[in-house]
Amino acid sequence: MVVVPEEVKEAAMGLRYPGENTRVIHQYRRDGSVCSSDAAMSVMRSHDGWVFNCFRCGLSGFLPLEDRDPKATKESIEKKQIDRRPCWTVALPTDAVPMWGEWNNKAPVKAFTWLYKYGVGDDDIKQHRIHWSPLYNRVIIPVYKFLNTKDKIQAKLLGWVGRDVDWKKGDKGQKYLIKKINGTEFRFVIQGSTDKVLVVEDVLSAIRVHNATGYTAVALLGHGITTTLLNQFRRADTLFIWLDRDVLTKAINYADKARQIGVPAILVNSELDPKLYSADEIRTLISFKKGV
C-alpha cells in the first residue's frame, strides 16, 4: 500500500475542483530523504479524490475524497457540477510533456500510434504543440487564439482537448476531456493559404483536411456555427461544411445561414469522419460536391 505523503495531503486541501492541480516538494518515503529540490510531485483533483505522481522518484497513488472530507461523495460533487463553474484562466496539465523534439521519449508508443493512425505526423505534433499527460492518460491538444500585437503575434491559450487513447466504443469513461475558458471562442483553427474554409467537428479531422487541401480548417469542438463565426467567414470564397450525418439537419441550416450573408456554402456528406479518409479521398469528396 502506498503511503500518501503529508505534503500531498496538505496540497489536496487547496484543490477543490476537478482538473485543478499543483506541484509540491515531498519526502521520498523509502529512505526519508528529500526527493528533489524542485516541485516534482504533481497533485491533481479528480471527481472522487486526488491523483499524485512524482516524475523524479516515481512515487504515485490516489488519495480518496473521503480521507479529506468524510461527508463528501462522488455523487454530491457531481450534483453540484463544480467542474462546470466559469473558468477565466486555463493551463495545460502540470504533468503534460511535449511529444516532439528531445521530450518525445516521455510519451508512450500508444499515444503516437493513435495520432499516426489518423494521419497526424511528427511535423503536425510539433506545429500544434501536442502533449501527453500521464495522469489523465490522454493526448493533450492545445487550442490557441492568435493575437496580432505591435511587435509580434502572440498566442493565447483558450483551453485544451484531451483524448483517452485507450477508450473504446462501449467504455463508460469520457472519450474526450475538454478544459476551456470561453466556449464561444473555443474552436480549433488552422489558417490556410486560400480563401476556402472547411468546417469539421474534431481536431484530428481539422488537421487531416487542412493537410490534404491547404484550406483553412475549423473544428467546432461541440459548438455550433454561430452568427459571430459566420461573420468571420464573410471573405471566404467557399465555405465547406463537413459534419457527422447525425447532425445533417443542423448542417443544412448552417449552410442556409451562410448563404444569407453572402457566403457560398457547400455541404460535404460522407459515411465516415474526415480523419478516416486519405488525402486523395478528401480532395475527391470535396471536389465533387455541389451546393445543396
Cell reading at 172:
463508460
What average pLDDT does this structure show over 250-272? 90
pLDDT recorded at residue 202: 92
Least confident span in 126-135, 204-213, 224-233, 271-280: 224-233
pLDDT recorded at residue 123: 94
Does 21 have pLDDT greater than 60? yes
3-state secondary structure of 158: strand
Its pTM stands at 0.67
- Contact assessment for residue 209 and residue 235, using Cβ atoms and an 8 Å cutoff: no
Does 271 have pLDDT greater than 70? yes
Does 125 have pLDDT greater than 70? yes
The rounded distance, in Å, linking the Cα atoms of 141 and 158 is 11
Q: Mean pLDDT, the chain, as a whole number?
A: 80
pLDDT recorded at residue 38: 63
Does 150 have pLDDT greater than 60? no
Q: Which H or E run includes 189?
A: strand 188-190
pLDDT recorded at residue 168: 84
- Contact assessment for residue 216 and residue 191, using Cβ atoms and an 8 Å cutoff: yes
3-state secondary structure of 283: helix
What average pLDDT does this structure show over 77-97? 58
pLDDT recorded at residue 292: 40
Contacts for 279 with CB less than 8 Å, ≥ 6 apart: 119, 208, 211, 212
Domains of the chain listed by start with CATH number? 6-82 (no CATH), 97-180 (no CATH), 189-287 (3.40.1360.10)
Q: Which tens digits make up the pLDDT trace of 5-18?
A: 888 888 887 777 66
Where do runs of H (alpha helix) occur along the chain? 6-12, 65-68, 74-80, 109-117, 122-127, 203-213, 227-232, 248-260, 279-287
pLDDT recorded at residue 82: 36
The sign of the dihedral angle between the CA atoms of 201, 123, 169, 138 is negative
Q: Confidence class of residue 72 from pLDDT cuts 50, 70 and 90?
A: very low
